[in-house]
Amino acid sequence: MAERRSKLLMVLGGIATGGAVMALAWPLLKRRGMCVTSILKKDHRLVSALIFAWEKARIVDIAARKALFRQIRNQLSIHAEAEEEILYPTIRNMSSVFTGIDIDDAFREHWNIKSLLYLIERMEPLSAETEGKMRELKEAIATHVAEEEGGLFPLIEEAMSKQQQQELGARIHERKLQLKRTIAA
């Protein structure tokens, strides 16, 4: 049990410092370009890893769960805000190209995710109710990610030039940095 706990703490520590690793990786990404879909897919993977760590944290302690939940909430809030302010309006403005994409549905999915985050934040971290709401959150995120990565992102890659994708990625990246600074303040 002690060995398992030690390994879990190493994983949690790695995830907790993931922001620092990502900060170091951005200059490299800038040189290669910041494709909007790559940036958003990385966000999806980070949230998935944080949720996995949160699920495993029940054997560690409440403090770890609370810290991981804050990271999940912050990452999802920043990601959603950037999509809502930059990506979705861009897609709406190019509606003739993006036929069949329901941006209103994406906004509804974000609202559902934000509502679940609000509820979970007010629950006891180790309760059965929290476990249930986190499963619901995980499923809502998985559905949203599948729709974006399986439908919207391929259309973006097809309809937009690499330069347009990189410009959109740079705008989203910059907005995410602003939001991170706001949260940190």
Q: Per-residue pLDDT for the chain (185 aa), expressed as one digit of tens each?
A: 445 444 444 444 444 444 444 444 444 444 456 899 999 999 999 999 999 999 888 766 788 889 999 999 999 999 999 999 999 999 888 877 677 778 889 999 999 999 999 999 999 888 889 999 999 999 999 999 999 999 999 999 998 999 999 999 999 999 999 999 998 87
pTM for the model: 0.80
DSSP collapsed to 3 states, the chain: CHHHHHHHHHHHHHHHCHHHHHHHHHHHHHHHCCCHHHHHHHHHHHHHHHHHHHHHHHHCCHHHHHHHHHHHHHHHHHHHHHHHHHHHHHHHHCCCCCCCCCHHHHHHHHHHHHHHHHHHHCCCCCCHHHHHHHHHHHHHHHHHHHHHHHHHHHHHHHHCCHHHHHHHHHHHHHHHHHHHHHHHC
Confidence at residue 12, expressed as pLDDT on a 0 to 100 scale: 46
Confidence at residue 183, expressed as pLDDT on a 0 to 100 scale: 86
Confidence at residue 137, expressed as pLDDT on a 0 to 100 scale: 96
Confidence at residue 60, expressed as pLDDT on a 0 to 100 scale: 66
Which domains occur in the chain, in start order? 2-184 (1.20.120)
